[in-house]
Amino acid sequence: MSEPDLTIRRGERADLPAVAELYLAVRQAAVPHMPPLAHDHDHVRAWVDGWDLRQREVWLAVHGERLVGFADLGPRWLNSLYVDPAAQRGSVGSALLDVVKSRLDGGFALWVFESNAPARAFYQRHGLVELERTDGWGNEERSPDIKMAWPGADAVGFFRRMIDEVDDQLADLLARRVALTRAVQPHKTSPRRDADRERRIAERMARTAPELGATRIGRIMDVVITESLEAAGH
């Protein structure tokens, strides 16, 4: 399929049933690169039918009268990009991703299953970078996934906005750490710090942040605990 054969257009409510069927077909064909769906087909159809097109954009790739791909996007996020298995390895995915980049020119992020090596390679070829990995706790399939991002023209500004969001979350966690440190002190049998417990904390945290490792996390947590104790008045 050559690119001139494609029509890319904005999706409307009447297109959503066809989008749901393509979504189901792609997910079924993608196993084992993607885990099985967490819901039955009727649930998926109802979910897609409920998309609020005032809050999200759906862009369609159409070949003749046949829907061969779609991209679902919201502010700063690419929710999904699926291409008919019969139309893959052509220009459909690239054409849709070009539209996404034009609509979200300030940059965007997405989640992709770790097991979906073809999708990860596709996004990497188009300039997206891997940012973080999870064990799948945040997705319905409970399958390990990877956050990827395209930073747009102002990469520094894009990544700094993401850093600011993480720092705000970190500030909230530090405030909670101080409050809990203060609360536990009257119940401790000894005012001394527990070195074994702190070592176990660092080792546990290193499983989530392997790039830092237990030694670095141990140094970080030593500062966090020291400053939390001082802030709590101990």
Q: Are residues 170 and 139 in the same domain?
A: no
pLDDT at res. 5: 81
* Number of structural domains found in the chain: 2
Q: Are residues 102 and 65 in the same domain?
A: yes
Let me know if residue 1 belongs to a domain.
Answer: no
pLDDT at res. 1: 41
pLDDT at res. 118: 94
Domain that holds residue 128: 6-153
Domain boundary among 137, 153, 169: 153
What CATH number does the domain containing 30 carry?
3.40.630.30
Let me know if residue 84 belongs to a domain.
Answer: yes
pLDDT string in tens for the chain (234-residue length): 445 688 999 999 999 999 999 999 999 999 999 999 999 999 999 999 999 999 999 999 999 889 999 999 999 999 999 999 988 877 999 999 999 999 999 999 999 999 999 999 999 999 999 999 999 999 999 999 999 999 999 999 999 999 999 999 999 999 999 999 999 999 999 889 999 999 999 999 999 899 999 999 999 999 999 999 999 888
DSSP per residue over the chain, as a string? --GGGEEEEE--GGGHHHHHHHHHHHHHHHTTTSPPPSS-HHHHHHHHHT--TTT-EEEEEEETTEEEEEEEEETTEEEEEEE-GGGTTTTHHHHHHHHHHHHTTT-EEEEEETT-HHHHHHHHHTT-EEEEEE-STTSTT---EEEEEE--S-HHHHHHHHHHHHHHHHHHHHHHHHHHHHHHGGG-S-SS--HHHHHHHHHHHHHH-TTTHHHHHHHHHHHHHHHHHHHTT-
What share of the chain in percent tops pLDDT 90?
A: 90
Q: Are residues 76 and 114 in the same domain?
A: yes
Let me know if residue 168 belongs to a domain.
Answer: yes
pLDDT at res. 3: 54
Domain boundary among 121, 153, 185: 153
- Look over the chain and give the mean of its residue pLDDT values, rounded to a whole number: 95
Instruction: Give the residue among 20, 41, 18, 22 at the shortest CA–CA distance from 30.
Output: 22
Residue pLDDT, tens place only, 20-77 = 999 999 999 999 999 999 999 999 999 999 999 999 999 999 998 899 999 999 999 9
pLDDT at res. 2: 46
pLDDT at res. 86: 87
